[in-house]
Amino acid sequence: MNFASDNAAPAHPAILEAMARANAGALASYGGDALTARAVEAVRTVFERDCDVLFVATGTAANAIALAALTPAWGAVFCHRHAHVAEDEAGAPEFYTGGAKLLLLDGPHGKIAPDTLRTAAAGYSRGNVHGAQPFAVTITQATESGASWTPAEVGGLCEAARGAGLKVHMDGARFANALAFTGASPADVTWRAGVDVVSFGATKNGALAAEAIVSFDPAVSAVLPHLRKRAGHLVSKHRLLAAQMAAYLDDGLWMRLAAHANAQARSLASALTAAGATLLHPVEANEVFVRAPEALAARLRAAGAAFHPWASDGPDAYRFVASWATTADEVAALAAVARG
Amino acid sequence: MNFASDNAAPAHPAILEAMARANAGALASYGGDALTARAVEAVRTVFERDCDVLFVATGTAANAIALAALTPAWGAVFCHRHAHVAEDEAGAPEFYTGGAKLLLLDGPHGKIAPDTLRTAAAGYSRGNVHGAQPFAVTITQATESGASWTPAEVGGLCEAARGAGLKVHMDGARFANALAFTGASPADVTWRAGVDVVSFGATKNGALAAEAIVSFDPAVSAVLPHLRKRAGHLVSKHRLLAAQMAAYLDDGLWMRLAAHANAQARSLASALTAAGATLLHPVEANEVFVRAPEALAARLRAAGAAFHPWASDGPDAYRFVASWATTADEVAALAAVARG
Amino acid sequence: MNFASDNAAPAHPAILEAMARANAGALASYGGDALTARAVEAVRTVFERDCDVLFVATGTAANAIALAALTPAWGAVFCHRHAHVAEDEAGAPEFYTGGAKLLLLDGPHGKIAPDTLRTAAAGYSRGNVHGAQPFAVTITQATESGASWTPAEVGGLCEAARGAGLKVHMDGARFANALAFTGASPADVTWRAGVDVVSFGATKNGALAAEAIVSFDPAVSAVLPHLRKRAGHLVSKHRLLAAQMAAYLDDGLWMRLAAHANAQARSLASALTAAGATLLHPVEANEVFVRAPEALAARLRAAGAAFHPWASDGPDAYRFVASWATTADEVAALAAVARG
Amino acid sequence: MNFASDNAAPAHPAILEAMARANAGALASYGGDALTARAVEAVRTVFERDCDVLFVATGTAANAIALAALTPAWGAVFCHRHAHVAEDEAGAPEFYTGGAKLLLLDGPHGKIAPDTLRTAAAGYSRGNVHGAQPFAVTITQATESGASWTPAEVGGLCEAARGAGLKVHMDGARFANALAFTGASPADVTWRAGVDVVSFGATKNGALAAEAIVSFDPAVSAVLPHLRKRAGHLVSKHRLLAAQMAAYLDDGLWMRLAAHANAQARSLASALTAAGATLLHPVEANEVFVRAPEALAARLRAAGAAFHPWASDGPDAYRFVASWATTADEVAALAAVARG
């Protein structure tokens, strides 16, 4: 009954098998191999267009490299107050950009409303040397509160961003889970809606350690390889990442895994609310946020269930995460304990 | 006949199998799992003492994080002119330290002589706000020219470093290959000789992507976890790294792989010199550097052999690298072509 | 009728004359001269203890250098949401620290209450590699809203800071004005209350360009000279800064100038409130913040008065600043226009 | 008999008087004043074209800001091994750029030969993510060895730079002294020869603390104001800098001062060589570099003469600097002592 994090799950067997298959013979290092080329093509196919694709091993690396390509050191990036880049990445965006500021915005369920961005951006004048100079906004798909952006919502935010002269980055650590909920296509919810760069995550959804930086902006793309290598994120035996990503995308595996995780999250939500918890955010991906009576939380903990308190949602708030590996039996076991 | 790089080799099967075995069930993320604890203990056993051990996926990350823990942004680090940190890591040390300088020293076969360090260090006065302020020296084991440091040599360099108030880092990307040549123990060639922090590499010698930062200095250790996370190098599904390292060290696998690679390198050297090439550096690990007649190089290339020209050794210089996966047949095939 | 900023004022004649007197003959450069030594002693006398004193030409430099000495690149600094370091220094703290975060706190009149700091600090756990790691708090004397900290208030804040393991920096851009209001001694409101480093400003209060970084913490002091030089803030013909600071402190000039400016600010406040404006913050230094009817603001502007709208106080808010050079006649002229 | 540095000299009286004249009444701060506009125009007139001009107080600031505008953090800058930016600015270029590398080139008398640059640049391939990515070259006028670049020499270097895709920065700390020697115009030796950005120094030649960053490249210019403010180098009471620069350029004062200093340097050289010293570099500005018998050096020191040993020129090497304030009497006194 481990609902602590989708990072606690192992890799999907098909992905590990692909890594094993890729582990034969000499291959050009640093991504100059045919397997990497195929994985890049697979990402392009998923996004329905030419784009630049760089693989890294962690989501923090993908986000920080992307943001550093979008803003100068003297710039600033808008993000949600509780965004992973702001709260959980130890200042990686500030490190990679060379000290750019994160400007924190509020909004329900981890989303930033277009008008919130417009108002905030209006508070900064381009060229004012004393104040922050925003260059980009980053949003999270699904959000830190488990909500999913629709293409229309992303489009609205991007329109506000364009109006303020900002580029748009999407942290897609749970990109597949969001798509599984909204039914949107990767293209519709990203570049067709105005997104410039995506951190396309696979790790939380069945890979072992594989993320892609996907850039639709050639000027940004030109910088990314240098930022990646300089940060030590260009993996030498690059088949490690390429094999995972190719298998992840092969035959729709990634979307099946996400759909499964989301379904388990919905079951989790039912079980918890039936036991007296109240939902704090809509369940639109693979995470469930609840306020739970202390007795319920204590009962679950006593039974060995792993889950995290969630400070940004206040007292008695908890997060439960389902993954591709979460079984219906595990959720049923939790439900049984929850019922008391 | 791929002698381009030990990074071109796949992972050793035993390491991949360990990754597969580790890929079962939920595990605490970010290194809070028992497998990571065991891998850390394995490293400590190898080094015969308590020490702090952090795993990362690349050697550039290990080096840059270690150097950033050893010097402030306004400091400087001595290294060999052709060190990997200086020539092949895209400025990662400068990035991670926040702009510290690399001060380049010369020396035969990639080594820095103690007197070279003493003389260089004497050119900088501690507290002079105008000039560079050296805080550390980094050496490479085996060197960029394939030479191995003995414990006595490391001790001599460390003594010079201490005299100049410098900490010592060892880039051990080919640490096992150096040990296989010198017969020294890990402890003797590092902390017993005065080294403060080691980048203990496994990737080039049979892992897929696994390096350890090994710190013998508690003040340095206190900073490392923050630097690692902030750089996006704390892998979430940490079993990826732990499983590799544990298998790498299990039952002496790592030293067997290195001994094999070194033996193949010696065979390579024999084959090449027999064919008219001259050795540019002693063959003390798994790399061979030669000056070769153009006809020989052309014949090898035509036969499909992969190897790199080596600019830092001048015209007609080439590097051939053997790995754990290099077979005697491959070397024999090269030898046959070389003979013409 | 220029009430736009105390930076609009010229230097006090006595300070310019001191610069002229100092402009004779050869002097050791970079602060190695006797005049600098005397100016340093003058600062120590004012603070009633030994301390390390470095001169720079701007307040932003003083603040950023001080903060960079107090926190590592992977650290964070608490400050008021509207602090000058947060809103008006173009990201200088982030630049100088190498990307440390500013954590924004709220509080009336630009002050941070001890409990606000305690609560905020409690949200970050020391050693948590994912989240921010606060190392310091910075407060402004007088605050961005023109309020002055008493020794007791500073002591309360410092006690909360110590409890959270934080060092304390004071941005004293208007330090003299605050002292002139509270009657506190420099020592009582800084190191005796627990402050570690002060940016001791002279520019706004009668110098042309002279600030001192005053450190009561030897560990911080050891780093400051390197940070200053590396930032290009070590002035070569150092008599420029030393002469200003010595004259500023000579015979109590600095406190007389501040008392004058404060008195003019009080007159300004009377004139404005008599004309229908309402005070937004207590007038405890040389700044007046009011909400004013549009007609009043328009009348003043039409008469040529210079003053700034003040966005952080909302619509119809304005700031009027008096300086050492503000005359009673100027204030009377403004009052006359204000009365209509 | 102070020949230690041109930084030891005071400001020229005319410059101090201009500062006094400027010290009257309220002026817009941060450079928004008419005096600053006039000083900017004066610089443009000197350079015979429109250009962007920013004033700062130190040469290190001017250089570091300029270089940071010319290269990304992941880039590199070629410079002479003994350039001030490399040896005497405490890593300011690395700090301001965010960790770009300085690539050190050799060449007689502090100059970089075009072919030296060509060869060096050929060692780096654009787009190679592993190695340094050079973006600029910086040269010093006059050089660290007191030699002056002619327009033809600058043009040759710039042509090599263009061929390698590099921008060109000139550190003009002793710009006037170089012009006084070569007779070249400011325009001919900078933008007409291909220079993109100049650090136009006044401090060493009669100002108290005033340097201008002069940019002929609009893309560079767009970034400069943000870099300056973020570094704390935007002086609030900007008349300080503007008054100095306007007076410095007024009626040819700057060139008269430089011519005087150069003439004294030539006299110094005659006196020293007559006494047995040998010139190490041609005397083409206001500095004299000699190898001197120990007896001569001892005699001069005993007589109270101030001058520096010069390590980069080896044992028994010394630098003597003349300034606008050096008198013929001082030189004669030195000559008398030198004769013994």
Which of C101, C226, C235, C236 to substitute to test the interface with B, most B CBs within 10 Å? C226
- Minimal Cα–Cα distance from B74 to chain A, Å? 15
Residue-wise DSSP of A41-84? HHHHHHHTS--EEEEES-HHHHHHHHHHHHS-TT-EEEEETT-H
Q: What is the pLDDT of residue C340?
A: 84
Task: Quote the pLDDT of residue D1.
Answer: 85
Q: Which residues of B touch D102 (CB under 8 A)?
A: 101
Q: Note the pLDDT tens digit of each residue in A230-255.
A: 999 999 999 999 999 999 999 999 99
Task: Provide the b/e sequence for A93-126 (b: ≥16 CB within 10 Å).
Answer: bbbbbbbbbbbebebebbbbbbebbeebbeebee
Residue with tokens 């090898």: B300
- The total number of residues shown for chain C amounts to 340
Gap between the Cα atoms of C185 and C206, Å rounded: 20
Chain C interface mutation, best of B74, B133, B238, highest count of C Cβ atoms under 10 Å:
B74
**Does residue B1 register a pLDDT over 90?**
no
Determine the Cα–Cα distance for residues D323 and C51; give it in Å rounded to an integer: 35
Two tokens, residue A74:
């003297």
- Predicted confidence (pLDDT) per residue in A55-74, tens digit: 999 999 999 999 999 999 99
Binned at pLDDT 50, 70 and 90, residue B191 comes out as very high
Q: Which DSSP string corresponds to A79-143? A: EETT-HHHHSSTTHHHHHHTSPEEEEE--GGG---HHHHHHHHHTS-TT-SSS--EEEEEEESS-
pLDDT band of residue D148 (cuts 50, 70, 90) is: very high
Which one-letter amino acid corresponds to residue D122?
A
Whether residues D90 and B311 touch (CB distance < 8 A) is answered with: no
- B132 has a chain D CB within 8 A of its CB: yes
Is beta strand D134-140 parallel, antiparallel or unpaired with respect to C76-80? unpaired
- Considering CB atoms only, which of B99, B129, B225 is closest to C129? B225
Answer whether D110's CB lies under 8 Å from D144's CB: yes
Minimal C-alpha gap between A62 and chain B (Å): 8
pLDDT in tens, B44-69: 999 999 999 999 999 999 999 999 99
| CB environment A243-257: b (16+ within 10 A), e (fewer) | bbbbbbbeeebbbeb
| Inter-chain CB proximity C56 and D232 less than 8 Å | yes
Cβ count near C81 (within 10 Å): 16
Distance set, CA B170 to CA B59, B66, B140, B196, B281 (Å): 12, 9, 6, 8, 20
Nearest to C91 among A74, A87, A90 (CB): A74
Interface of C with A in 79-118 (CB under 8 A): 87-91, 94-95, 97-102
Asked if C229 lies within 8 A of B72 by C-beta distance, the reply is no
* Residues whose CB is less than 8 angstroms from the CB of residue A252 and which lie 6 or more positions away in sequence, other chains included: none
CA distance A93 to chain D (A): 14
Q: Does B230 touch chain C (CB under 8 A)?
A: yes
Q: Are B129 and D90 in contact (CB under 8 A)?
A: yes
Is residue C226 within 8 A of residue B74, CB to CB? The reply is yes
Cβ of D73 within 8 Å of Cβ of A74? The answer is no
Q: Does A332 touch chain D (CB under 8 A)?
A: no
How much is the pLDDT for A1? 85
Closest CA to A177 of A211, A201, A142: A142
Q: What is the mean pLDDT of residues B70-80?
A: 98
Q: Taking CA atoms, what residue in D is nearest to B60?
A: D130
pLDDT at B275: 97
Q: Determine the Cα–Cα distance for residues A64 and A232; give it in Å rounded to an integer.
A: 13
pLDDT at B340 over 90: no
- Rounded to whole angstroms, the Cα distance separating A33 from A237 reads 10
Mean of the pLDDT values across residues A205-212?
98
Q: Which two tokens stand for residue C176?
A: 């003299």
Contact A27 B13 (CB under 8 A): no
Q: Which residues of C touch A90 (CB under 8 A)?
A: 74, 129-132
Is any Cβ of chain C less than 8 angstroms from the Cβ of D229?
A: yes
A101: chain C residues, CB-CB within 8 Å: 91, 94, 102
Pairing of strands C52-56, C211-215: antiparallel
Q: Which domains, from first to last, does chain A contain?
A: 12-252 (3.40.640.10), 254-339 (3.90.1150.10)
Q: Do A26 and B9 touch (CB under 8 A)?
A: yes
Test mutation, A2, A7, A244, chain B, max B CBs within 10 A: A7
Cross-chain residue pair B130–D97, CB shorter than 8 Å: no
CA distance B249 to chain A (A): 19
- Chain C: closest CA distance from residue B198 (Å): 21
Of D98, D223, D234, the CB nearest to A98: D98
CA angle centred on C312, ends C307 and C316, rounded to 5°: 55
Alpha carbons B145 and B319: distance in angstroms, whole number:
9
For residue B123, pLDDT over 90 is answered with yes
The pTM for the full model equals 0.98
Residue B255: both structure tokens together: 């030293």
Of B98, B129, B230, the CB nearest to C226: B129
Q: Render pLDDT for D252-282 as a digit per residue (tens, 0 to 9).
A: 999 999 999 999 999 999 999 999 999 999 9
Among A293, A284, A296, CA closest to A322: A284
Verify whether the Cβ–Cβ distance A90 to C311 is below 8 Å. no
Question: What mean pLDDT is predicted for residues A280-292?
Answer: 98
In the predicted model, what is the mean pLDDT of chain A? 97
Q: Which residues of D touch C26 (CB under 8 A)?
A: 2, 4, 8-10, 306, 325
Mean pLDDT along residues A22-30 = 95
- pLDDT at res. C289: 98
Whether D169 has its CB under 8 Å from any CB of chain A: the answer is: no
Q: What is the residue-averaged pLDDT of chain D?
A: 97
Cβ contact D12:D176 at 8 Å: no
What integer pLDDT is reported at residue B252 of this predicted model? 98
Measured CA to CA, the distance from residue A258 to residue A201 in angstroms comes to 12
Q: Cα–Cα–Cα angle for A237, A243, A246, nearest 5°? A: 140
Question: What is the Cα–Cα distance from A248 to A209, expressed in whole angstroms?
Answer: 11
- B99, D101: Cβ pair inside 8 Å? no
Q: First CA to last CA across chain C, in angstroms?
A: 16
Burial classification of residue C159, based on how many CB atoms lie within 10 Å of its CB (0-12 exposed, 13-18 middle, 19 or more buried)? middle
| Alpha carbon distance B18, D82 (integer Å) | 53
Q: How many residues does chain A have?
A: 340
pLDDT confidence band for B281 (50 / 70 / 90): very high
Q: Looking at residue A340, what is its pLDDT? A: 84
pLDDT tens digits for B299-331? 999 999 999 999 999 999 999 999 999 999 999
CB contact under 8 A, A123 and C90: no
Do A10 and B20 make contact, defined as CB atoms within 8 angstroms?
Answer: no
Among the partner residues D73, D99, D226, nearest to A129 by beta-carbon distance: D226
pLDDT in tens, chain C (340 residues): 899 999 999 999 999 999 999 999 999 999 999 999 999 999 999 999 999 999 999 999 999 999 999 999 999 999 999 999 999 999 999 999 999 999 999 999 999 999 999 999 999 998 999 999 999 999 999 999 999 999 999 999 999 999 999 999 999 999 999 999 999 999 999 999 999 999 999 999 999 999 999 999 999 999 999 999 999 999 999 999 999 999 999 999 999 999 999 999 999 999 999 999 999 999 999 999 999 999 999 999 999 999 999 999 999 999 999 999 999 999 999 999 999 8
Mean pLDDT of B170-182: 98
pLDDT in tens, D80-133: 999 999 999 999 999 999 999 999 999 999 999 999 999 999 999 989 999 999
